[in-house]
Amino acid sequence: MSRKHFGTDGIRGTVGRAPITPEFVLKLGQAAGRVLARLATERRAARPTVLIGKDTRISGYMLEASLEAGFSSAGVDVVLCGPLPTPAVAYLTRAQRLDAGVVISASHNPFADNGIKFFSAAGKKLPDAVEAQIEAELERPYTCVESRQLGRARRLDDAAGRYVEYCKSTFPTELDLRGLKIVVDCAHGAAYHVAPDVFHELGAEVVAIGNEPNGFNINDGVGATHGDFLADRVQAHEADLGIALDGDADRVLIADGDGTLYDGDQLLYVIVRDRMRSGPVDGAVGTLMTNYALERRFAELGVPFARAKVGDRYVLELLEQRGWRWGGEGSGHLLCLDRHTTGDGIVSALQVLAAMRHSGASLAELTADLPLLAQSLVNVKMSPGFDWQGHAPLAAEIAAVERELAGAGRVLIRPSGTEPVLRVMVECADAELAEALARRIAATIA
């Protein structure tokens, strides 16, 4: 599919600049509404209904109003749930048997950015074919249905409470979190009124931080992209664990009582090992950036492993192609398809906590046999049209480095999708060696 507006995770940008303007978002709502109305007619179904959620950015009010107007003008009913995590919108769309879910969020970006992403009736990322239809509708002139056909809007009562109960249902009923003191960093984002309650109601003593959004402070020095802050707060409060979410709560980072941080690769390993208690695991999916140590360890355990392109959308696509259930990225986007249809920071954290409770072990003990390799990344500027794949000196140096690593490391070369640079990454146990080897490869094209 050729995309003009949709990226790998919806539409995103700086508020006030195309495409994140009230005018465009109004038109986007109408375009999506026309597609949903057409699909409802084909199914001979009733008037379509869409759920709209958002994070805590100040621009959410404006964009929510524009979306609501766009959907209404296309004859689509709207259910508003206010600030709520992205995975909560996916869950509620499915649970309420609605036609689609829409999230107004720019995830881990600063408050001046925002975006729009869609979920299908099944609570999954919108299929490419439907996104293509919406793109086509965006090229058509603005129209409005007759007054009798306009969509209505209503609020979903206790949307947050419903989602809290859902999250708790993903944690084994025979277990609880009593005796644990947990710092929960909500990034001043969409989970500020949800995440602390989940862990508290399961029995933990919760210290909530990053739970005072003001429209401007989302992700500002807090949350999953600021692990050092989480580690500091865990030690300051003498807590057992720290759990940090990002602005829309679809990714997670965890710190132990010593302030040691555990990334998505390590957390995925903990979850998969816990699932192996019940029998063999069909397989797991990472990305091109997943630490090579995880791939090797899974091989030792007999767990098939595959790499997708960077982005949780591609991890999900590969999981569905293979019929597997667990995958993720080092950034903390984790997918547990036996629990949810999309990445969910709270649910993922609960799966890690369940593994700790099942084993009686700490995170350090659960990951002791997964020593991560050092990763060194060098960005090299490329001239337009540079054929890096056909560049003989580069190919020769890559081959030389791979011989030197002798299977104890990995080389990854990939062009950036956002800027004219080639990313050169080398992984091995020795950080200094990884950096030296990466710079050797980069020097062939610098």
Q: Report the b/e string of 91-126 with b at 16+ CB within 10 A.
A: bbbbebebbbbbbbbbbbbebbbbbbbbbbbebbbb
Whether cis (ω within 30° of 0) applies to the bond prior to 19 is yes
Type of residue found at 257: G
Residue whose C-alpha is closest to residue 336's, from 198, 127, 171: 171
DSSP three-state, residue 381: strand
Burial of 11 (0-12, 13-18, 19+ CB in 10 A): buried
Reduced 3-state DSSP string for 265-289 = HHHHHHHHHHHHHHCCCCCEEEECC
Inter-axis angle of helices 159-169 and 345-359, nearest 10 = 30
Under a CB-based contact definition with an 8 Å cutoff, are residues 319 and 325 in contact?
A: yes
Known active-site residue 66 = no
CA distances from 106 to 87, 93, 109, 149, 224 (A): 14, 20, 6, 32, 14
The active-site residue out of 107, 331, 348, 376 is 107
DSSP state string for 178-227: TT-EEEEE-TTSTTTTTHHHHHHHTT-EEEEES----SS-TTSS-STT-H
CB neighbours of 40 closer than 8 A, spacing ≥ 6?
46, 47, 48, 99
Q: How many CB atoms lie within 10 A of CB 376?
A: 20
Q: Which helix (H) or strand (E) holds 425?
A: strand 421-428
Burial of 416 (0-12, 13-18, 19+ CB in 10 A): exposed
Active site (catalytic) residues: 107
